[in-house]
Structure 1
Amino acid sequence: MAPKSSSLHRGIVRLLAYFQWNWIGLIVFDDMRGEEFLKEMREEMKKNSVCVSFTEKIPLSDRKNRETSEAFTSKILISEVKVIVIHTDTDSLTIMGNPPGFLFPTKKVWIATSHLDTTTRALYHYGFTFHATLFFSHWTTTVPGFESFIRKNNSPLSMRNSFIQARMPSLLKCSEQPDIPEQDLYLPNASLKHLPFYPVDMTTSALSYNIYNALYAVAWALHEILMKRYEKKSLGNEESVLPHPWQLHSYLKNTQFKNIVGEQVFVDENRRTEAQYAIMNYVYFDFYNDHLLYVGDFIPEAQPGQDFTICANVIVWNLWSSKVPSAVCTASCPAGFRKLPLEGKPPCCFSCSPCSEGEISSHMDAEQCEKCPEGEYPNEQRDRCLPKFVTFLDVNDPWGKAVTAVALSLSLLTALVLWVFVKFQDTPIVQANNRNLSYLLLTSLSCCFLCSLLFVGRPTTASCLLRQTVFAVVFTVAVSSILAKTIIVVLAFRLTGPGSRMRIFLHPRVPYCVVLICSGIQGLICAIWLGTYPPFPEADTHSESRHIILTCNEGSAFAFCCVLGYMGFLALGSFTIAFLARNLPDAFNEAKFITFSMLVFCSVWISFLPTYQSSRGKAVMIVEIFSILASSTGLLGCIFIPKCLVILLTSWENTIKQNKNQRGSRSKDFSFFKI
């Protein structure tokens, strides 16, 4: 007669998931019904990430055995599990309701699948109580006349001492009950509706309701049998009108009727309806003061979202705190962390690990951390993404101001040196080193300092195309001029003997041809670079976690390496030739200066390569600007500053020497160095 309970496990797991309980114990009877319930619970709990700490099976043959009860109860009480699901009948309360001896207080939340037996109270003991118990009770309908019967035979005062009492929750928004003075409850004509705890038997228990339907089913079956007997008797059949007991089953199997509350009742296993459950909270204070609170319901056949209702704010968990108990193997991982499974442990037991750099987890108990979008970065807690700041080497930044000031200052200094050389162009020290090449070298060095400014400011298509190519061509002109100077010095001292055929290489146009050819090759490389894979503006979102760096992508890394490699080849050639000519005799031989300047140049750019590869963001541009300024300053300082000091501080001696040279006092002829 009872409705089907095939959805009971779903309701229990919904309750566990609602309170976020994922570490529970299971207690069942050791029979087929218990095994089936365990199987259904495990499948449903797996879907909702709920784990079982232990499973206890109560032997049917040892229900009254004191030793079994003691061992069973002690094991439950010493367990760290705070929530225990018990799927048994009312007899199981006898086993767990009376533990022997003194036990330490242990707070447990019980989820029972049968209604508490109202004739046997669960006694309170230290270490064990049914105080915080939630019952899944079959939902029943009020039987008309039952309340009148109870009111007629019992007074409100006797009801308080005779039944476990239930009430609809007054703290819920669903319903409110008026406050009734306690003295009014004991009047002879007091109504049961005025009791603060409304008797549960007003609607009858599930067991009583099923018995009620069963009795009516038997009555209907007997009625059918008697009606057929009377029909036979009226036809002259003298067979006894009393039915035989063995005939009742066939009539009972086909019986169907509407009971007094209007529900259709079938005495057929295949036509039973799915049970609807009322969730009751059992509150135990003392032997004469315990109550059942209606706190929710579970209706399996209702629409999704309306099948489960719970009023958590009226549940009484214990006498000291209204806080919902925690029943987890491991505390939840906060946002910003992710769960790491523990070897040999169920999924509910895990450790929490902070998200890696650049990743976040925005919710608790995240399985995996997520990467922020390219335009965002994680905050310090790594629980949400923030927009990145767009930045570049701006002229108003401290580094931008410093680079601009240094570049302009060095360019102005180079222009000043050029002015000195032009003003004192007739001095022997200027004439002896091919002053036109010196002018070209100083002009290219001044442009080298200025081309570093192309790396400052917001990158555009034009600036990206010009910054590397202009720098490469201008620097190549400077290095080519030094190479031409070095070649001329060597030729002047090695190939100027009488009758030497190599004197044709001392033609005044040879240095310019060297500069033109070397610079033309670099220009061709840059043209191919721009024609195939030119540089372009790019937003770098990976170099810095909190910034988007606007920079220039070189387009072709191979072409960029070719440009630098070609300049390095020219610088190495100049260094080698100058080193071989460093000991040539003459007061105006600048091979030593060129050797040292090329040593500085090569050192700077050799250091540049690994530093450039390991730098990120704005540091890449700063490293290249520093290399340009440092190498150009090395050339200017090593080759021209000593000459300027000689020109400015010993100009009178230079004039005297010039006069002596004009009188033929010197044996060496420098006429081929003059313009």
Structure 2
Amino acid sequence: MDGNPSILGSHGILVPGDLLMGAVIPIHTDRIFPLATYKEKPTPDICKRFRLDFYQQFQTFRFAVEEINRNPELLPNSTLGFYVYDSCAVLQRELGGTLWMITGLNQVIPNYCCQVHPPLTAVIGHSTSTFSILVAHIMGLYRFPQVSYYSTSSLLSDKRQFPSFFRTVPSDDFQARGLAQMVLHFKWKWVGLIASNDDYGTEVIEVIRQEVVKEGACVAYTVYISDNLLNQNLPNIVKTIKNSSANVLIVFSVDFYLFPLLDEMLKQNVTGKTFVASEAWSISNLLAVNKYVSLLSGTIGFAFFSSEIKGLQEFLNSVTIYNTPGIYWAKELWEEVFGCTFADQKNLTVTLNMKKQCTGEEHLSSVQNIYNDVSRLRASYNIYTAVYVIATALHDLRQCQSLGGALVVNNCFDIGYFKPWQLMSYFRKVRVTLNNAQEVFFDKDGNPPAIYDIVNWQLGSDGTIKQVKVGSYNTMNSSGDVFSINTTLIWWATGNQGVPNSVCSQSCPEGFKQSLKEGEPVCCFQCSPCAQGEISNQTNAIECWKCPWDMWPNSKRDRCFLKPIEFLSYEDYLGITLATISTFSSMVPISVFRLFIQYKSTPIVRANNYSVSCILLVSLSFCFLCALAFIGYPQPEKCLLRQAAFGLVFTLCVSCILAKTVIVVFAFMATKPGSSLKKWTTPRVPYMIIICCTFIQLTLCVFWLTISPPFLQFNIEAKPGIIVVECNENSPFAFWCMLGYLGFLATVSFTVAFLARRLPDNFNEAKLITFSMLAFLSVWVYFIPASLSAQGKYTVAMEIFAILTSSWALVFCMFLPKCFIILFRPDMNSRDNFMRKEGGGK
């Protein structure tokens, strides 16, 4: 049963059979490297830690083989035997054990196979990706099937380098994508990467970096650790971890590489870090001890898919030192589980010092430990799957499944004599359905379907760490949702504070955007408020968005609301005030007009051209009323006509004043003997002046309204946050031409009146016209800069104010003296007084 134990010792066993398969399993770990002096032959490595979980893997391998041997439908009339070699997770022994199986001799001879029958069909192993890569190079030369239950490096998916490599664990490419989705799920934007300095860690860490960055997160640092303490600067590595603001650490490593790192973190009192574990240590019982509770509680990570294997626990408990191959390992199991020792004449002192002695009659079912705990079979389940994959491929070979001429027909049924390369085609096509209905097959790269459990390290009530399944990652999920996790089941080290936060910069609230810091990763940013007129309605916005033209941000700049509409309305205090003044003011010229009608026969009314004065008074009343066209909602009709109406009415007023001024001058000059101006003193002349001057303005307005008419405009630039509803004059040139022509008439009137102010006439209007035109021009000269500086409704209010003020200037300067004489000095409004003063003036 033990093969040749005198030669193989405690390293390997052979159980005979018609067909053989090999398994390289590290029953022991924690090796010691003796110091080499190069003066003598190096001593072998010493493996001092017996691993109950790895011994369970060996027994699961044995259970699968015996289960297949009892199955009449799988490889009938043939029995499976096996090699098992304890590699101690040492590269030399992994390679040596594999060559021992292939060679068939106790002495390892590379490139030589002594054993032809029974044939070695395949080798299950090895313990790490680095070791598998080395062995796969050798086994691939001869297309010798290798099925790994633990090596996950994506390098092994390259069929050009490793044509005969298969595995029952997913490639790390799948795990990298899954971990990146986990980082995104928990909104971790700033993570640290820790990897073992071997093929497993260095390759995957680059993949995870790419996947993490693809998901929008950033990597704060990447550090590498190894099992050689002389080649790493752990204090500086831990100082980097401690000082970094990254609170989430993604660790790709096997468990025994982490002991020195965790010890140094305890030494430097590193706290507040959450570990994300790769499958190589996510269920490690060596790390789940009280010493590391403060560091590793709350850890979350991926683990190999676990499943139940029916009958395995009973099988494990039925093992004794007498009914299992590998008596050395069985005795170590007994000593480890029951805390006893077997009598050993070579080590009598040790035996005498032990508290109790093993009898070999103890029952494993009386204890509960890692060895017989089948509640979370992972690596053991993968070994179980690997055995069934090999057996199914052999069964397909025996049944001569058609694979396009892969085998010679004469050798088809001679299952005891075939070459390993002839089995390769069947490995590629194999499909195995296990008792749990899980189907196993290989893709073109030799990888099985990717299924992971997501486990969380939770602190139990007894103070120990338990690894609890909280979700899964299944690329074969029929619903398409490959990543699922129940966050309510997760226990974080932060307790009630919820999911740990790991960001380089705190989140930018709504109303702000991220501004990158020069020379920093994209996850390190500062928050800048959105510019005027822009919003961001989500946290960590990359850009702000402009509100629609008719909307404006609120004070927090996280929402858009409708802009208030502004125009000079009748509901506005300013608008109603100006409207009241305008209406009241329009009644003043009408009152003066009625007064003139009443006293039209008096000298002061007749002496100043009664008809023209009446036209002037009516037009002044309209001037006051035209201000109303600028108040209220600026409808398109208002916009079209209000400036033209204003220009025409004021032109009519100024034309009347100009006509009165010219007539005064002509009347005085015509009194001179032989004057040619006498013909211009007829009553028709003032009307001609009024008509001609007004017609020119009318022509300008018609051209303006025809070619470039004013229109209604919603101005969003005049006042931020407000829509100013206004009339756009469309052609500023036409507007200023209209206003300039009005100013030209007023200037001419002022000039003529100023020159005629000293004419000897008791009722000479030239002085009144001079003051009225001076006031009129002053108002509009001041209006120009005031209107340019005003905004919104105040621009309109300024123009209304100018209209009312200039109109009042004309009324006050032109008619107040006359009304005063008519009402309060009737003695001055007599013909005798008029003729006397006129004569006295002569």
Q: Which amino acid aligns with 2:228?
A: R
CA deviations on 1:382-421 (whole Å, 9 max, x unpaired) are 2122234455433233223212210111111121222223
* Structure 1 position 317 matched with structure 2 position 492: yes
Find the counterpart in structure 1 of residue 839 from structure 2: 666
User: Which of 803, 812, 826 is 1:637 aligned to?
Assistant: 812
2:839 is matched by which residue type in structure 1? R
Q: 1:558 aligns with which of 722, 733, 750?
A: 733
Residue number in structure 2 paired with 1:605: 780
Give, in angstroms, the shift of residue 532 of structure 1: 2.4
User: Relative to structure 2, which stretch is displaced further, 95-104 or 250-259?
Assistant: 250-259
Within a 5 Å distance, the mapping from 1:156-171 to structure 2 comes to: none
Taking the aligned partners of 1:323 and 1:532, their CA distance within structure 2 comes to 70
**What secondary structure is seen at the aligned counterpart in 1 of 2:182?**
helix
Distance 1:69 1:426, change over 3 A: same
SS in 2 for 1:332: coil
Q: Does 1:445 align with 2:620?
A: yes
- Cα-to-partner distance string for 1:184-238 (whole Å, 9 max, x where unaligned): xxxxxx999xx9x99995354432222333445566788899999xxxxxxxx9x
Q: Which stretch shifts more, 532-541 or 587-596? A: 532-541
What displacement does 1:51 show? 0.8
SS at 2:472 equivalent: strand
Q: How does 1:461-476 map to 2 (within 5 A)?
A: 461-476=636-651
Q: Could you tell me whether the CA contact under 8 Å between 2:275 and 2:298 is conserved in 1?
A: yes
Specify the alignment match of 1:371 in structure 2: 546
Q: Tell me whether 1:48 sits opposite 2:209 in the alignment.
A: no
Rate the CA distance shift 1:664–1:566 in 2: closer, same or farther, 3 A: closer
Alignment partner of 1:141 out of 294, 307, 319: 307
Question: Is the contact between residue 99 and residue 128 of structure 1 (CA under 8 Å) also seen in structure 2?
Answer: no
> Are the counterparts in 2 of residues 225 and 243 from structure 1 also a CA contact under 8 Å?
no
Return the offset for 1:274: 3.3
> In structure 1, what residue type is equivalent to 2:260?
I
- Check 1:227–1:318 CA distance in 2 against 1; reply closer, same or farther (3 A cut): same
RCO higher in structure (CA 8 A, sep ≥6): 1
- Aligned AA (1:566): Y
- Report how far residue 100 of structure 1 moved: 7.2
Distance change >3 Å, CA 612–CA 301, structure 1 → 2: farther
Does residue 1:30 correspond to 2:197, yes or no? yes
Q: 1:610 to 1:227 in 2, by over 3 A?
A: closer
The equivalent of 1:258 in structure 2 is: 432
| Equivalent position amino acid for 2:379 in 1 | L
Give the match's secondary structure for 2:233.
Answer: helix
The 1-side partners of 2:679 and 2:504 are apart by 94
Matched, 1:209 2:375: no
Alignment of 1:86-485 (within 5 A): 86-99=251-264, 102-114=267-279, 115-116=281-282, 118-123=284-289, 129-149=295-315, 201-216=373-388, 251=423, 254-255=426-427, 256=430, 258=432, 260-261=434-435, 263=438, 265=440, 270-284=445-459, 289-302=464-477, 306-318=481-493, 320-390=495-565, 392-485=567-660
User: In the aligned structure 1, how far is the partner of 2:443 from the partner of 2:513?
Assistant: 52
Letter in 2 for 1:52: V
Q: Deviation of residue 439 (structure 1)?
A: 1.6
State the one-letter code of the partner of 1:74: K
- Check conservation: 1:130, 1:284, Cα contact below 8 A: no
Secondary structure at the aligned position of 2:591 is classed as helix
State, as a whole percentage, how many aligned pairs show the same letter.
37
**CA offsets 1:249-295 (integer angstroms, 9 cap, x no match):** 76477444636435555688733223211110112469961111211
Name the counterpart of 1:179: none
Q: In the alignment, residue 258 of structure 1 is paired with which amino acid?
A: V
1:254 and 1:267 in contact (8 A); partners too:
no
1:63 aligned partner = 228
Seen in structure 2, the aligned counterparts of structure 1 residues 39 and 642 have a Cα distance that, compared at 3 Å, is farther
Deviations 1:315-354 (A, max 9, x none): 1111643421111111111111112111111111111122
Identify if the C-alpha distance between structure 1 residues 225 and 389 changes in structure 2 by more than 3 Å, giving closer, same or farther: closer
Give the alignment of 1:506-525 within 5 angstroms.
506-525=681-700
> Using a 3 Å threshold, how does the CA distance of structure 1 residues 623 and 580 change in structure 2: closer, same or farther?
same
Q: Does the Cα contact within 8 Å between 1:122 and 1:129 map onto a contact in 2?
A: no
Change (3 A) 1:388 1:608: same
Higher gyration radius (CA):
2
Distance 1:270 1:465, change over 3 A: closer
Secondary structure at the counterpart of residue 216 of structure 2: coil
Aligned-pair CA distance for 1:536: 3.4
Look up the SS of the partner of 2:458 in the other structure. Answer: strand
- State the one-letter code of the partner of 2:583: L
Does 2:252 correspond to 1:78? Answer: no
Deviation at 1:32, TM superposition (A): 4.5
Note if 1:6 corresponds to 2:152: no
Query: 2:206 aligns to what?
Result: 39
Against the structure 1 CA distance between its residues 664 and 393, is the aligned structure 2 distance closer, same or farther, given a 3 Å change threshold?
closer
Shift of the 506–76 alpha-carbon distance from structure 1 to 2, 3 Å rule, reads same
The total of aligned residue pairs comes to 618
Partners of 2:511 and 2:483 in 1: CA distance = 32
Q: Which stretch of structure 1 is more off in the superposition, 422-431 or 633-642?
A: 422-431
Distance 1:453 1:662 in 2: 44
Over residues 54-104 of structure 1, what are the superposed CA-to-partner deviations in whole Å (9 max), with x where a residue is unaligned? 11122x4x5344963343333323322100111122223223232277433
The CA RMSD over aligned residues, in Å, is: 3.7
How far apart, CA to CA, are the structure 2 residues paired with 1:387 and 1:664?
A: 71
Aligned to 1:570: 745
**Larger deviation: 42-51 or 508-517?**
42-51
- Distance in 1 (CA, whole Å) between partners of 2:807 and 2:676 is 37
Give the corresponding residue for 1:165.
none
Amino acid at match of 1:474: V
Secondary structure at 1:270 match in 2: coil
Question: Are 1:627 and 2:794 matched, yes or no?
Answer: no
Q: CA shift at 1:134, angstroms? A: 0.9
TM-aligned CA distance change 1:461 to 1:660, over 3 Å: same
SS of the aligned residue for 2:295 comes to coil
Deviation per residue, 1:496-529 (Å, 9 max, x gap): 4211223333333222211110001111112222
* Structure 2 counterpart of 1:673: none
The question of 1:505 aligning with 2:716 is answered no
User: What displacement does 1:480 show?
Assistant: 0.8
CA contact (8 A) 1:22 1:51 kept: yes
Name the TM-score, length of structure 1 as normaliser. Answer: 0.82
CA distance in 1, matches of 2:554, 2:425: 70
Task: Provide the secondary structure at the position in 1 that maps to 2:263.
Answer: coil
CA shift, 1:494, in A, is 4.8
1:624 CA drift (Å): 1.9
Give the counterpart letter for 2:304 in structure 1. H
Letter in 2 for 1:575: F
Is the 1:111–1:135 Cα contact (8 Å) retained in structure 2? yes
Q: Residue 255 of structure 2: SS of its match in structure 1?
A: coil
Change (3 A) 1:79 1:538: closer
- Give the letter for the 1:50 counterpart: A
8 Å Cα contact 1:112-1:136 kept in structure 2: yes
Give the deviation of 1:53 after TM superposition. Answer: 0.8
CA offsets, 1:569-628, max 9 Å, x none?
111222222233334444322323222222222222223233334433322322221111
Counterpart amino acid of residue 312 in structure 2 = F
Change (3 A) 1:148 1:577: farther
> What is the Cα deviation at residue 487 of structure 1?
2.0
